[in-house]
């Protein structure tokens, strides 16, 4: 299978449709598939259910899809950096399925492993637990969470080869590895494409069997929150 595509637009060709579920890796602005997100916006697809730790910021990442009103529902764990997200949610224009961060990661991992559900203590006694099955194990109460699978998973990696083997770098190895396993189709954008056989098999984070399409992207290095202090003078 030829997995290399020339750009994000061609990589998405034939896999997008209205009402689709999309996983997007990353945390804040770190490790997000920014080229694929822009191409998804430009595709005009509507009614997206987006599974992601957050929605980026107003003018970058998944925030671009909120601007164009292409996202119908967010399944996420943190929404604090996006004012448009807040506005749409409070105006009942956007559905939100809120998850503790570790629960969201495990739901993605479970979906990729073929596990339909699991029990966790996280969220017991809170709004998160409402309507969910409760069970006691060894005297402790747990709630049932379901695994997540997406029509398309969009991930960002540091290096990849033509077979789709991926290596992530430092903090960008966040939600990307588990989401890469949980997409019916997984599309990766990488900073560098290397020859097949040049990656140390022991260091590969996502085996190529999980990846169907691959592009080399150009990426911005944005700072999500810039904090500065005044220079001290003697």
pLDDT band at 228 (very low <50, low <70, confident <90, very high): confident
The answer, yes or no, to whether residue 165 has pLDDT greater than 80, is: yes
Q: In DSSP terms, which residues pair with 152 in a beta bridge? A: 22, 185
Mean pLDDT of 3-9: 96
Q: Which pLDDT score is estimated for 56?
A: 84
Sign for the pseudo-dihedral over CA of 53, 73, 164, 108: positive
Mean pLDDT of 119-127: 96
Residue 210: inside a domain, yes or no? Answer: yes
pLDDT band at 82 (very low <50, low <70, confident <90, very high): confident
Q: How many domains does the chain have?
A: 1
Residue 165: inside a domain, yes or no? Answer: yes
Residue 123: inside a domain, yes or no? Answer: no
Q: How many CB atoms lie within 10 A of CB 4?
A: 15
The answer, yes or no, to whether residue 1 has pLDDT greater than 90, is: no
Residue 89: inside a domain, yes or no? Answer: yes
Averaged pLDDT of the chain: 93
**Percent of the chain, pLDDT > 70?**
97
The answer, yes or no, to whether residue 160 has pLDDT greater than 90, is: yes
Residue 112: inside a domain, yes or no? Answer: yes
Residue 110: inside a domain, yes or no? Answer: yes
Residue 233: inside a domain, yes or no? Answer: no
Q: Which pLDDT score is estimated for 224?
A: 67
pLDDT band at 201 (very low <50, low <70, confident <90, very high): very high
Q: Which pLDDT score is estimated for 163?
A: 96
Terminal Cα-to-Cα distance of the chain (whole angstroms): 65
Mean pLDDT of 132-139: 97
pLDDT band at 234 (very low <50, low <70, confident <90, very high): low
Helix-strand-coil percent breakdown of the chain, rounded to 5?
25, 30, 45
Q: Which pLDDT score is estimated for 222?
A: 67
Report the CATH number that the domain containing residue 59 is assigned in CATH. 3.40.1080.10
Q: Return contacts of 88-92, CB within 8 angstroms, 24+ apart.
A: none
Question: Which pTM was predicted?
Answer: 0.92
Residue 61: inside a domain, yes or no? Answer: yes
Q: Which pLDDT score is estimated for 220?
A: 75
Q: Which pLDDT score is estimated for 213?
A: 98
The domain in which residue 49 lies consists of 8-116+148-216
């Amino acid at each position: 299978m030829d997995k290399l595509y020339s750009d994000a637009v061609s990589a998405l060709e034939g896999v997008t449709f209205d009402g689709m579920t999309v996983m997007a890796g990353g945390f804040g602005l770190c490790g997000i598939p920014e080229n694929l997100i822009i191409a998804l916006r430009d595709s005009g697809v509507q009614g997206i259910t987006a599974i992601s730790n957050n929605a980026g910021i107003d003018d970058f990442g998944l925030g671009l899809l909120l601007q164009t009103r292409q996202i119908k529902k967010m399944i996420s764990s943190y929404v604090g950096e996006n004012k448009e997200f807040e506005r749409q949610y409070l105006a009942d224009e956007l559905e939100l399925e809120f998850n503790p961060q570790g629960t969201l990661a495990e739901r993605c991992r479970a979906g990729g492993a073929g596990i339909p559900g699991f029990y966790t203590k996280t969220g017991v006694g809170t709004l998160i637990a409402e309507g969910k099955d409760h069970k006691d194990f060894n005297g402790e109460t747990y709630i049932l969470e379901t695994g997540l699978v997406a029509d398309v998973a969009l991930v960002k990696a540091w290096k990849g080869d033509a077979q789709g083997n991926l290596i992530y770098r430092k903090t960008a190895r966040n939600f990307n590895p588990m989401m890469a396993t949980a997409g019916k189709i997984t599309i990766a954008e990488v900073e560098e494409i290397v020859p097949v056989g040049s990656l140390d098999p022991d260091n590969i984070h996502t085996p190529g069997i999980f990846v169907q399409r691959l592009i080399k992207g150009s990426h911005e290095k944005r700072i999500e929150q810039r904090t500065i202090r005044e220079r001290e003078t003697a």
